[in-house]
Amino acid sequence: MPIEIHIKSSVLHVQQSFISPTVYLDHWAIRLFSEDIALQNRFVSALNNKKGTLLISTFSLSEFSSSNNSRHAIDAESFIERLLPNIFLTDFALNKIIDRERAETNNIKRFWPPADLPQLIFLIQNSPHNKLTFSGFITLAHIYRDEILEEQRALVLQIKEKIEMCRSSPSSIKQAKNNKPDNNLPRTIIILDELLRGYYLDLTAPITNNDIIDLLHAMIPINCCDFVLLDGAWEQRVQRMKHRIANAGLDLPLAECFSRRKDGIYAFLNKLEAFDKNSQTNIAIP
């Protein structure tokens, strides 16, 4: 199972595993499955029956700080509680996964996302009698929403400024226009370049704070997961990226991506329910 807790020589040991089928839900998708009980029942049943894993980023959970209604956080806790222990906490640390990718001779291998061990320990410590629970975990984002929102804005602004600086560089724009997916680059760098490419080709397109947040939601999950639910515009970006990667002749396995468009939620659930571990050849490895 993804999260395991055991005591050895009076010492508490905790580990988490990233077991396929692996799923990442953008913030809106967490809200959707938290509030629509029929969809929630179907998703929980499918993931638990397949003994899969829901990838959870602290960044996604922190978005609950933007709501003044604590009910949203409580509903999300109840939803995720039903999936325990089949979750994996990640901190979206790009440098950790890029370092592993640089050691490879090609981009075929997919790696587990970087683990957020501090959050995992915090979750365990706040679970009474070492019985894993998500109750109250997301509510903290609501309680400390002012501090969390300030940190989130600072991070988003930092990333946004770097992208805008590159957009003002003629050499960066030229490179984006002429660039093709290159197997000599790490998987994560290829994904980042491709997802941002449209902003360099169309300098009139604004980059909003939400765009930066959506970028963060996409990068590692697309790289590591089997299934990802994103905003519709970002699903389209992912499909364009996959098309360019295929045309470049690269063998670079990526997640199947869905959004709310064109009955994407039901298409995703159908795929999850039909998932066969024995037929998978590109599952992420530790």
Q: What is the pLDDT of residue 144?
A: 85
- Number of domains the chain contains: 1
Calculate mean pLDDT across residues 71-99.
94
What is the distance of C-alpha 86 from the center of its chain?
15
Nearest to 220 by CA among 138, 115, 119, 150: 115
Q: Which residues pair with 3 in a beta bridge?
A: 16
Q: How crowded is residue 234: how many other Cβ atoms within 10 Å of its Cβ? A: 20
Report residue 11: phi and psi, to 5°. -115, 130
In the chain, pLDDT over 70 holds for what percent of residues?
A: 99
Q: What is the pLDDT of residue 228?
A: 98
CA distance to 211, 218, 279, per residue, from 237 (Å): 12, 10, 27
User: pLDDT digit string (tens) for 229-262?
Assistant: 999 999 999 999 999 999 999 999 999 999 999 9
In a domain, 37, yes or no: yes
Calculate mean pLDDT across residues 37-66.
92
CA angle 4, 222, 184 (to 5 degrees): 110
Amino acid at 205: A
Nearest to 26 by CA among 207, 271, 189, 257: 257
In a domain, 199, yes or no: no
Please answer whether residues 79 and 39 qualify as being in contact, where contact means their C-beta atoms are separated by less than 8 angstroms.
no
Q: What is the pLDDT of residue 1?
A: 65
User: Hey, what are 160's tokens?
Assistant: 């946004």
Calculate mean pLDDT across residues 167-171.
89
Q: Is the pLDDT of residue 85 over 70?
A: yes
In a domain, 286, yes or no: no
SS3 state at 153: helix
DSSP class of residue 114 equals P
Q: What is the pLDDT of residue 51?
A: 95
In a domain, 240, yes or no: no
In a domain, 203, yes or no: no
**Spatial separation of the C-alpha atoms in residues 108 and 102, rounded to whole Å:** 12
pLDDT band at 8 (very low <50, low <70, confident <90, very high): confident
Calculate mean pLDDT across residues 124-148.
84
In the chain, pLDDT over 90 holds for what percent of residues?
A: 61
**Cβ neighbours of residue 213 under 8 Å, at least 6 residues apart?**
27, 59, 63, 156
Calculate mean pLDDT across residues 220-224.
96
Q: Is the pLDDT of residue 67 over 70?
A: yes
Please answer whether residues 141 and 59 qualify as being in contact, where contact means their C-beta atoms are separated by less than 8 angstroms.
no
Calculate mean pLDDT across residues 269-281.
92
Mean predicted lDDT score pLDDT of the chain:
91
Going by their DSSP bridges, the two strands 256-258 and 227-229 should be labelled as parallel
Q: What is the pLDDT of residue 268?
A: 99
What is the distance of C-alpha 108 from the center of its chain?
19
List the domain range (segments joined by +) for residue 80: 3-151+216-231+249-279
User: Hey, what are 185's tokens?
Assistant: 């680059």
**Spatial separation of the C-alpha atoms in residues 141 and 147, rounded to whole Å:** 9
Instruction: Give the residue with greater pLDDT, 93 vs 128.
Output: 93
Nearest to 26 by CA among 73, 60, 53: 60
User: Hey, what are 241's tokens?
Assistant: 């990226």
**Spatial separation of the C-alpha atoms in residues 254 and 260, rounded to whole Å:** 19
In a domain, 222, yes or no: yes
pLDDT band at 211 (very low <50, low <70, confident <90, very high): very high
Q: Is the pLDDT of residue 9 over 80?
A: no
**Cβ neighbours of residue 202 under 8 Å, at least 6 residues apart?**
none
pLDDT band at 222 (very low <50, low <70, confident <90, very high): very high
In a domain, 275, yes or no: yes
pLDDT band at 78 (very low <50, low <70, confident <90, very high): very high
Q: What is the pLDDT of residue 224?
A: 97
How many CA atoms lie within 13 Å of 99's alpha carbon, on the beta-carbon side? Answer: 6
Q: Is the pLDDT of residue 42 over 80?
A: yes
Compute the Cα dihedral for 261, 190, 89, 217 and give only its sign: negative
In a domain, 185, yes or no: no
pLDDT band at 130 (very low <50, low <70, confident <90, very high): low
Q: What is the pLDDT of residue 61?
A: 83
Q: Is the pLDDT of residue 105 over 90?
A: no
| pTM for the predicted model, two decimal places | 0.93
